[in-house]
Structure formats: structure tokens, C-alpha cells
Structure 1
Amino acid sequence: MENELWRSWDDESPRTITVSRTVPPHIGNLAIPALEPATGEALVEATRAVSDLRDRAAETTGVLGHLSAVLIRADAVASSQIEHITTSSESLAVALADLGDDDPDRNPYPVATELVAANVTAALSAQRGGEDPTEDWFHRRHRSLLSVDPEMEKRHLGAWRDCAVWVGQNRQSAEFEGPPWEKVPALMADLVRFAARSDVHPVVHAAIAHAQFETIHPYVDGNGRVGRLLIHRLLDAQPAAPTAPVPVAHGLLHNPDGYVSGLTAYRQGDLDQWITVFAEAVTDGAHAAVRLVDRIDGIAADYRQRVRTRQGSSVSQILDRLLGTPAITAGEIQAAYKLTPARASQILHQLADAGIVRLSEHRAGRSRVWVAHDVIDAIDTINATIPRRLIDTRNGPSASGPMPSPPA
């Protein structure tokens, strides 16, 4: 076929090339084959770990409402790290606080911070929304994630790709190339049908749907992040369960080479290897989440010891709020709790004297920002507890830009 990157002045740029595209089968109504005993054991362990997380979350009276935000934030940070998009936790906390300062002189956040913040926001929406994945569901998440990316063309936001995508140094030697773009709408319609099924084990359901999505690679960029949002929607789709999303990206970050090789195995028809890798990531993520729940529960109890206040008071509500949104300004306190400037300042200084908040180096326009550093550090600590190998960062250009490996 014609080489889209052919350049007449480049001797190493051939006019025509041979490519190998991966076109997955339709799975909407496909029967799930019997799995090997070792795969079954990995599924049992993952199921037990998820159950333990939800049981532990149910015990955290008083902070349960904040766990979803904390766990999703931790997972979104890990999901972004998989593709080398990083920011400081404090900068992220300030960006996510939505401090509402309309100062025209306000400095914009770094692109990486905005991308990670968009990941957190989209993940919370996916996990809490309760919607079944549809074509519109995918497009809205894609727009939410990529609208702040200056390298993303507007015509590609929330739209199936109209070009080839691949992973590798160049298209001719690509490690993986997605199916022809003309096939994407039908393949995604089939995936939507599979996602709506209720007859598949939840871990298997999320594993297959994620691998199928990454194989279709329906967007020019952002496929990894959108695909990991799909995991949350399917794995956490249990309304009766406590709100304790599993940070699966933590487990995938624990073994990025296994993540890539597992997806490759899926594309070659080895369902057992992929489901085992995915189930182990669920187990690792659930265990990390339990540690984070314990830490947040301990922080909440410590706050109550440091500052004695009656239940339901402004101070009590602010302490609760800081668990899920660890950045605040005096103006925000005034507006949210109908306090005078003097009282808002008094509360912040009371919390600072107790070692609960400190002034951040980041600002919201002209306003000073206070951060609950213990909550921010808790997420950093959980990230640090997962040993991870370096990911192969060789990039291969697509017709619209770079395509990182593993999926972005």
C-alpha cells in the first residue's frame, strides 16, 4: 500500500510498504470459552480482593463519601503515569478544587496538570454516572479527556479516527496496527453490545471489553485513558455495593510489560493470558486501595483529635471536605458555608495551627490556596508502594500524531 509518510527526499522512506493490521472478531454475542484452572484461580483472588476492599470501605463510617474521589484520583494519576503524563499531587489538588477564581491574570496550569485533572474528572463521571456505555458515552469521555490537549485537532475530539494508527518506530515495522478506520463504527457498535451484557463475570467482562477497545483503537489518541475509564464503568457497576472503585491502573502500572504482552496475547487469541494479567492487576489495585482507605480513615480520625468541634459545624464540614478535595481558599469557605471573611480566616488559621492545612506555593488567581498535605501525601505514598519497571517509550507516528506504547 502507499506509504503515508513517504518523502521524496528521504532515501529510507519507501513509496509503498506492506503492513499487517489487527482486526478483532465481533464479540457482542460471543460465548465465553472455558478458562484454564490457573486463570480461574486468578479470578477468584481478584474477586476476593474486590470484596475485601468494599467490606473495608463499608466500615469507614464518616469518610465513605470521599473514598470514591480519593480512589479515582489515585487511579487516574496511575493511568496517566502509564503514558508518562505526570504532575505534582499538590498542583493537581489545586486544579481539581475548582476554586472559582475568574481573575484574568490567573496563570494557566501546565498541560500535564490539566490532562491529569481531566482524567480524574472523566473517571469520576464514568464511575458515578450509571450510564451504559454507548457511542455517545465514549465520545463524551474522549472530549472530556482530550479537550485540553493542545496537540489534539478539534475534528478528532469525540470522533472515531479517520486514519491509520499503530505502535512502533514506523508503520512498516509496527508492533501493532489497529483495524482500518472504516471498520471502527461497526466494531464499536459490537463492543457496545458486549458491554451491555450481564451474563459475564465482572472481571472477565471488564478485561475483554478493555482489550477489545484497545485493539479497535477507535481514536487517534487517548485510547488507553478512555479504555481504562471503561474498566471502571464495568467493574464497578454494582449499585448495591459501597462506593469503592478499584484502581486497576495501579495494578497495570505494577507490571506494564505484562500489560502490553497481555494485550498482545488477547489479539492472538490467548484469552487466558490476558485475563490472568488483568485479574492480577485488579488484585494489586484492590490491595493498594485498602491501604489507601486505611490511611484516609486514619487521617480523618487524626483530624478529629487535633481539632475538637461539634458534628455539623462549619469546621467539621470543612474537615470532611478536605478528605476528598484537599485544596481550599478563604473565599471558597466564605461562599460555601456563608461565613464572614474574618471567620473564614480564623478557621483556616485554626486548621493551620493544628497542622491540618498549610499554604500552597500554588495560587488561584490572587487568592492564596491552603492544602491538606496529609491527604495529598497519602495518594503519593500509595503510588510509591507499587514497584514498576520502565515502560518502552518508543513512539510511532500515525497519520495524526504519535501513538505511545502502551496505549495512551
Structure 2
Amino acid sequence: MAKVEQRHWASSLDRGGLSRRDRRAGSYQAYLPDPLVDRPLMLTGETAADIAEAEAAITRLDTEAKALAETEALSRLLLRAEAIASSRIEGLEVGARRLLRAEAAQALEGQSTDVTATEVLANIDAMALGVNSIRRGETITVEVLLDVHRRLLTGTRLEQHGGRFREQQNWIGGSSFNPCSAAYVPPPPELVPGLMVDLLAFCNGDDLPAVAQAAIAHAQFETIHPFVDGNGRTGRALIHLILRRRGLAQHVVPPVSLILATWTQSYIDGLVSFRHIGSATSPAAVDGVNIWVSRFAAACTRAVADASAFEQKAADLEQVWRERLAPVRTGSATDLLLAKLVGAPILTVTTAATLIGRSYPAANTAIDRLVQADVLRQVTVGHRNRAFESPEAVAAFTALERQLASPAGDTRSSAPSRPAPRRR
């Protein structure tokens, strides 16, 4: 039975410059959620219809993605969008062009001097690890989740906390120095390991539809808040792990968490509704689960719509390039590179050769041709390294970021509701 537990905070702060509110001791209420395994979960017919619509949309995106030569390119772009937006939400400001150039410098020199971009790149790597570490029917283990978290915090000031459950009380809102005025206080640290074992056992079940399972698991993860930092990003990665394990998103990952972040108040209200007090079968608990799962399902459907629209824009852009370069011989290095360019907007001759599986001279000739047609432009990355950028592909990626940040999916009528790149 879910409940709140009254606890006492004994402050040891006596530093000057802190307000009385920050220095004070006092009581706070920590939330103790119901375990998920064996919890009765009753979904209404309306919620079930929302789930069915979302699952059909995700399956369609995963199986019918055709506009890009390889769905891997679309999936990588959507992971980039998630990583950039997640980082903006958590205070790391970096644009698509800056990130892509740092990624190219990292490939050339082994590292980038752009510290912020490097942290966001670690976010991409962690999410890619999460998506690719689980296949259909495989078990999501504690080790997998801890590894995702470890990679997220690698190279940050909190690196020592990476891959470890918290051993201290954390909280959301209120003072930074005590939980007495917090908006929400997660379970005490001694309960975290047991709650996480229960959560992962739930994640590895097959009794619920995949979208409902991902929704409930994400809400429970954010409720537990098991880490000192990086809970939001790890909780978003967990969504993809579950969808991948259930076979719903084997190739293309819909940017679900970006829509949830865009619908900020709806997202927060949904999580609050999920955190019931009392019996899991009470009307309030049942309503809370249905409210949250329906909102999550709607976010999935919207995420697929945005991803599909971008896929079409990518196909249109590739066609414009082909018309600009015509004729393009089928199977040539130029043909292969055009099919990869939207997914790799900044590249070097070496990375291009690897990407298309051709020799360095062949890739170099193809790049020269794309530069002459103004599809690519030469830029400098890292310490005076020569690279090539597709301004139109970068612009398309930036437009996708803005679209995902718009509550209505159209920035002309609905401005971004969270940090997003400016229109160039």
C-alpha cells in the first residue's frame, strides 16, 4: 500500500550567506510507492484504445521506414535529438551544428575541446548503448541500467556517482539544502535497491501491452529517483529499453520522451496522478494509472507522427540533391553517400569512406562532387582538421528539434515550450 512517511531532517549547515529556510532542520514526507510486481493494474477501454493506437504507430514506423536508405540513419538522428533536448532540459546548451562538429573532432582526434558538447555526446552514447544492449525477449538487468547511467555521468563533475544507486536522500523542488519545502521527496535510500529489483522484474514481464509497460515503468523509475543525478536521462533510456525488448521498436526509436518534455505540465500532472496514496485498487489509484498511461500513449503517437514527417522531409531533401547532381550512377560512391548524408551531416573523407564501404579516393571524389554542387561545404573541426558539412541537413535536423519542442508540432502556430534551437 503506497504511503508517505514522516521523517526528520537534521541540518548541519551554519554557513553565512544561507537563508534561514536553507539552514533549518525540520520534517518532510518521503513517498513510499507500491511495488509493481503482482500489483493489480486495471486499464479502461479508452486507455486500451490509446495504447493500441500508439503501438500500431510505433510498429508502422519501425517496419515501414523507407525514405532514408537505412533506418539506422533515422534512428541515430532521433537519438541525437533526444540527447540534445535532454541536455537542454538539464541545463547543457549546445546546438546541433556545434554537437556535430565536436563529434567529428572526437572521431579525428580522440577527443573534443568542447566540454559541454562532449557531455552531450556521452548522453548519445549512453542512449545508444541502452537501445542496442537489449534485443527482443532479452532480460533488462540491473547491470544494463547501471551501465547506461555510468556512461551518462562519465566525464562530468558527478562521475563518481555513475552506475551507483544513491546512498542519500534526494528531493525535487524547494531548497537545494534540505527537503523540508520540497515539491516531492522520493523513497529513502535504503529502500532503493529493493524497489529497483521489483521495477526491473516488472520490466521483464509480458502481461501488459508494451506501451503500458513502458509508461508505468518510467513513472515508477522517476518516482523512485534512484540516482544522485541523471535520473531524467536514465528514465528516458528505460523507455527505449522496454520498447526494444518487447519487439515494438527494433530499428527506429520514436522520440517519446521529447514529447513528454514538451508537454511539461501534462507530464508532471500525469506523474503526480500516478503517485497514489493507499490501496492500488482504490478509484484514485486506478484513475491515476489510466490518466498517466493515456498521456504517455498520446506522446508515443505524436512522436511517431513527428518522426515520420521528418523522414519524408529527409527523403525530399535527398531527392533535391540528386536532381542537383544528376545524373547519379546507381551504386556509385556519390549515390551511396547521398543516401547517408542526412544521418551524417558533418563528415570527413575517412568517415565517409567507412560509411559507404568504399576506398578513400572514391569517397574523396564523391565529396568533391558534392562540394561543387553546394551540397557540402568545407569546414574546420578540432585542431585545423578538414571536414565537410551539409548546411541543409543540419537545418533539417534543427527544424526537427524545434518541431519536437512545439506542443502542437508546428512552430509557426505553437512556439517551443522548452529550450530549443533558434531558427537560423
- TM-score, normalised with respect to structure 1: 0.85
Is 1:77 paired with 2:84? Answer: yes
1:10-63 Cα distance to aligned partner (Å, 9 max, x none): 644555310111121111232322x23432332233234324423541x33623
User: 1:166 maps to which residue?
Assistant: 171
Matches for 1:160-309 after TM superposition, within 5 Å: 160-170=165-175, 171-239=179-247, 243-268=251-276, 269=285, 270-307=288-325, 308-309=327-328
Matches for 1:8-407 after TM superposition, within 5 Å: 11-13=20-22, 15-33=24-42, 35-57=43-65, 59-60=66-67, 62-97=69-104, 100-102=107-109, 108-111=113-116, 113-130=117-134, 132-149=139-156, 151-152=157-158, 154-170=159-175, 171-239=179-247, 243-268=251-276, 269=285, 270-307=288-325, 308-333=327-352, 337-340=358-361, 345-360=364-379, 363-385=381-403, 386-388=405-407, 390=417
CA distance in 1 between counterparts of 2:24 and 2:370 reads: 67
Offset of 1:233 from its aligned partner?
1.2
2:59 and 2:249 in contact (8 A); partners too: no
User: 1:396 maps to which residue?
Assistant: none
- Identical aligned residues as a percent: 28
Relative to structure 1, is the Cα distance of residues 381 and 128 closer, same or farther in structure 2, using a 3 angstrom cutoff? Answer: same
Relative to structure 1, is the Cα distance of residues 315 and 165 closer, same or farther in structure 2, using a 3 angstrom cutoff? Answer: same
User: 1:3 maps to which residue?
Assistant: 10
Report the AA paired with residue 173 of structure 2. Answer: G
Offset of 1:240 from its aligned partner?
7.8
Unaligned runs of 5+ in 2: 1-7, 277-284, 408-415, 420-424
Offset of 1:168 from its aligned partner?
1.1
Relative to structure 1, is the Cα distance of residues 97 and 29 closer, same or farther in structure 2, using a 3 angstrom cutoff? Answer: farther
When structure 1 is superposed on structure 2, of 166-175 and 13-22 the one drifting more is: 13-22
1:257 and 1:391 in contact (8 A); partners too: no
1:86 and 1:116 in contact (8 A); partners too: no
1:107 and 1:365 in contact (8 A); partners too: no
CA distance in 2 between counterparts of 1:71 and 1:91 reads: 17
When structure 1 is superposed on structure 2, of 5-14 and 132-141 the one drifting more is: 5-14
Report the AA paired with residue 180 of structure 1. Answer: P
1:180-220 Cα distance to aligned partner (Å, 9 max, x none): 11111111111110110011111100001101111111100
* Count of equivalent residues: 382
1:83-122 Cα distance to aligned partner (Å, 9 max, x none): 343311111122334653238xx761141x2232222222
- Partner secondary structure for residue 95 of structure 1: helix
Bigger RCO of structures 1 and 2 (CA < 8 A, at least 6 apart): 1
Report the AA paired with residue 160 of structure 2. Answer: R
2:131 and 2:240 in contact (8 A); partners too: yes
Relative to structure 1, is the Cα distance of residues 352 and 22 closer, same or farther in structure 2, using a 3 angstrom cutoff? Answer: same
- Partner secondary structure for residue 101 of structure 1: helix
CA distance in 1 between counterparts of 2:62 and 2:349 reads: 35
CA distance in 2 between counterparts of 1:186 and 1:27 reads: 12
Unaligned runs of 5+ in 1: 393-408
User: 1:404 maps to which residue?
Assistant: none
Offset of 1:382 from its aligned partner?
1.9
